[in-house]
Structure 1
Amino acid sequence: MEHKHLDQLRSVADVRPRSLTRQERVERWIELLERNPTRRLNSLGEIEYKPPAERALIREDNSPLTVAYEDPVLRADGLASDRLGDVMNYFELSDGQAHYALCSCLSGRSMDAASFAQRLRNTTGTAGWRSAAGAWALAGLAVTLPGFIYLFN
């Protein structure tokens, strides 16, 4: 088998890495935030009051958007900037999801990175099946425990 460098292959074939899925993009952003969980990040100022065109251009230094844009993997995959509109398009966030996860009216002017990660997880549904399974297990325990206590006492 002959081995060639990627640059050599590009000259004879169209070699492009697979694009990340939405879930992979969001999970990577959450992972990036959780790498430094106590880092203080700036939220975005009251984005719900801005007209859509102005809202798309919002950015804040040292924000969760900055963390995402600093990642070379996300930039190579298509994240165009750390402006709210580009971030919403790339991560496929609705206005409500962006507001809940990033706006100052819900989190104050700054918050630790772990809290932003949890907000993203909550609003995008990336908490995973483990959280849902755990919730169902606790609910089942709460319902059946009184019956077991009654039967065995």
Structure 2
Amino acid sequence: MKHQNPQELAAAATTYAQPPQRRMSRRERIERWAEILECHQGPINALRQVEYLPPQERRAYRGVNTPLTVAFNDPVLREEGLAGDRLGDAMDFFQLSDSEAHALLCDCRYHGRMTGSGLAHRLRRHAQASERRARMWQAVGRFFGFASGRTA
């Protein structure tokens, strides 16, 4: 047995990189959000009048006990990359457009009656509809012989 110093051992040691972990799909992230909203016991406040905010203020918008704070409090979603509890963070992470975020989260759609289970149901319906639209655009693209870059 040959004597080796620590530098030689370190150079010879084989390190095995862990295989990259699979990231959640958009649908899985939205489903996780829906699950934690259904389990949330406290009050949930809709976002107030987001359609009237200038784009920069809209992206920076945050509030107390909103669906955004519920999502950000989840360690799984934070580990997946949810950067904060601002509307822009959620829009980027869940891949929501301005109009989708407004339709799902604004108080004008709830009239003071937002519940975790109700929003969870809407999030799931939205994800299903987005996937159907994406499949439809793919089929249209194949039919006409072009690759459709449109996703929803």
How does the TM-score come out when normalised to structure 1?
0.69
Distance 1:115 1:39, change over 3 A: farther
- After superposition, residues 121-140 of structure 1 pair within 5 angstroms as 121-125=124-128
Runs of 5+ consecutive residues of structure 1 not aligned to the other structure: 1-10, 130-153
The separation in 2 between residues aligned to 1:108 and 1:74, in whole angstroms, is: 28
Residue of 23, 32, 38 corresponding to 1:34: 38
Opposite residue 34 of structure 2, the aligned amino acid is I
Opposite residue 33 of structure 1, the aligned amino acid is L
Give the root-mean-square deviation of aligned CA atoms. Answer: 2.2
Instruction: Give SS of 1:13's match.
Output: coil
Counterpart position of 2:123: 120
**Are residue 52 (structure 1) and residue 24 (structure 2) matched?**
no
Counterpart position of 1:81: 84
- After superposition, residues 62-101 of structure 1 pair within 5 angstroms as 62-101=65-104
The separation in 2 between residues aligned to 1:127 and 1:31, in whole angstroms, is: 19
The separation in 1 between residues aligned to 2:119 and 2:42, in whole angstroms, is: 10
**Are residue 13 (structure 1) and residue 17 (structure 2) matched?**
yes
**Are residue 25 (structure 1) and residue 35 (structure 2) matched?**
no
Poorly superposed stretches of 4+, deviation over 6 Å:
126-129
The separation in 2 between residues aligned to 1:30 and 1:89, in whole angstroms, is: 17
The separation in 2 between residues aligned to 1:126 and 1:28, in whole angstroms, is: 17
Query: Cα distance, 1:124 vs. partner?
Result: 2.6
Query: Cα distance, 1:126 vs. partner?
Result: 6.5
Instruction: Give SS of 1:42's match.
Output: coil
How does the TM-score come out when normalised to structure 2?
0.69
Identity of aligned residues (%): 46
Q: Contact (CA 8 Å) 1:27, 1:126: kept in 2 or not?
A: no
Cα deviation, 1:41-78, whole Å, max 9, x if unaligned, reads: 01101111111111000011111111111111110010
Cα deviation, 1:87-143, whole Å, max 9, x if unaligned, reads: 0000001112111110011113452111111221232326999xxxxxxxxxxxxxx
Instruction: Give SS of 2:114's match.
Output: strand
The separation in 1 between residues aligned to 2:55 and 2:128, in whole angstroms, is: 24
Query: Cα distance, 1:39 vs. partner?
Result: 3.8
The separation in 2 between residues aligned to 1:49 and 1:124, in whole angstroms, is: 25
